[in-house]
Structure 1
C-alpha cells in the first residue's frame, strides 16, 4: 500500500470518530450505556384508604370518578420530573386485619398517568384493605428518594342491614283463650257458683212437694185404719185434708 493510501485511511477513520462522538454527545451518551433502574421505597406504611390525611371521599378521585362503593382508590406519585419510567412496582396489603401483608399488587395492576410531567399511578382494591408497604424500580431518581401515597378515595360499602324479627301480637281476652282455671274464655255467665251448692230448680221443688203430699196421704190412711180398729170417735176418723 502506498503512502498516499495510508494517509487517506487515517483521515477517513478520524472523520468517522468525530461523527460518532458528535452523535453520542447529542443523545447524552445513552447509546453507550443504558441507565440502571433505581430502587425506591414507599414513604408511607400501615395506612388505610379512609385515613383523613389522604382520603378525598368516595367518588372524588379524578383518576376514577366512577368508583364503586365497594372499592378503595389509591394514587401514588414519584416527586419531581426526573423519573422517566416505572420499571416495577410492589404494593403489599393486609386484607384480613391481622397486621400482616397477605396480598401483593404489581405494576400490572396499576394504571399510569402524568401530572405536569410527574409520574403517577393508581390502583383499585376492595374496600377496607390496609396498605402495609411498597417498593418500586424506576429510571431516574425522585425528589426525596421515595415515592408517596398522594391521596386516596375510600369506599362506602357497609354490611347488609339485618332483617328485624317479627314480634307476635298478643291475642285479645275472650277470643277462645282459657282464663287460667281450666274453663273456657268469656264473661263467666255460664260458670257455676264455687261457694254454694247446685241451684234449686222449679222441677226439683215440685218433685219434693209431690213426695210430701203422698207421704201425708199415706199417713192419714194408716191413722184412719188404726182408729177404726180401736173404736175411736167418728170425728177423729175423718181423713185430714191436705
Structure 2
C-alpha cells in the first residue's frame, strides 16, 4: 500500500515539475527578430507612414520609427536593438519618455500602451537605413516576431556651406594702343584744298593781266594817232 502511494506521489511531482518548466520557458525573456519584410528600409522608403502621437512634434532633420509587438508573439518588450547601415546600433531599454535611452544621432523609449509594454518609439537622424533589429521579449513565443508599424520621415539637414573667401579680381591688362591708321585717299575736310595746276594756254590772272591790258591800250592809241597824221598829210595840197 505504501509503495503504491509512493509511486503516485512520484508521478504527480514529475508532472508538476514538467508544468513548471513549461511555464518558465513561456515567460522567460526570449530574443525575437523584426519581421523580415520590414528591413532593410529608410523611414522615407517605408510603406506605412504617420507623424502623429510622439512624432507630431518631430524636430527637423529627424526620422521617427515605431515598433510594435503583436499579442501572439509575446507580452512585453524588455529591450530593443536596431542596427543601421552607418554602423550605429541603438539599444533601447528606458521606459520613461522624459529620460529616453540615447546615443549619437538617436534616442528612444519603450512605451506602455495600456497594460503591456508593446511599443518602442525610436528617433534617429534623418536618412538612416535600418538593416536589422531584434528585441528581448517577456512571454515570447518560439516563432514570434515584432513589426515596424510605421515611420515618420524627416528631411536630412544639409550642412551650411562655409563662406568662401572672395579673391580680389586681378587687374585687367591695359589694352594695347591700336596702330596708327594709314591715311586715306579722301581729302581732309578740315584742310585747305590744294590748288589745281594751271593748264597751258589759260589767261594769267591778277597783276600781269592788268599790265598787258594797259600796254595794249597804249599801242592802240598810238596807232590811231599815227593813222590820223598819215591821212592828214595825204589830204594836204602838194606845192608846185
TM-score by length of 1: 0.49
Larger radius of gyration: 2
TM-score by length of 2: 0.50
